[in-house]
């Protein structure tokens, strides 16, 4: 019998509150580097993620020299 590892992918997202973290995980976001491909507006469209969570993400991205994608 094969044992399947069902552990979640490595997560380096800051703590933004249970709801925002859960919504982002369910949307497939686990690493800060994933946010460079989406805009702040894209993230704010997710129900359960508000301006406070985006502000926390922005701060964490800046610490790593990263940023959200710019609006086209």
Residue 48 lies in a domain: yes
Q: What is the pLDDT of residues 1-45, one digit of tens each?
A: 556 655 566 788 999 999 999 999 999 999 999 999 999 999 999
Domain count, the chain: 1
Q: What is the pTM of this model?
A: 0.83
40-63 average pLDDT score:
97
How would DSSP label each residue in 14-59?
PP--HHHHHHHHHTT--SGGGGGGS-HHHHHTSTT--HHHHHHHHH
User: Residue 54: is its pLDDT beyond 80?
Assistant: yes
Distance from C-alpha of 57 to C-alpha of 40, rounded to nearest angstrom: 9
Residue 58 sits in a domain whose CATH number is: 1.10.150
Q: In terms of C-beta distances under 8 Å and separation of at least 24 residues, what long-range contacts does 28-33 make, across chains too?
A: 32/57, 32/60, 32/61, 32/64, 32/66, 33/66
In a domain, 30, yes or no: yes
Mean pLDDT to the nearest integer, 40-65: 97
């Amino acid at each position: 019998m094969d044992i399947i590892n069902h552990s979640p992918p490595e997560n380096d997202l800051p703590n933004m509150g249970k709801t925002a973290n859960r919504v982002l995980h369910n949307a497939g976001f686990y690493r800060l580097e994933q946010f460079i491909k989406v805009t702040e507006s894209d993230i704010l469209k997710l129900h359960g993620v508000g301006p406070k969570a985006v502000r926390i993400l922005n701060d964490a991205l800046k610490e790593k020299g990263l940023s959200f994608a710019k609006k086209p």
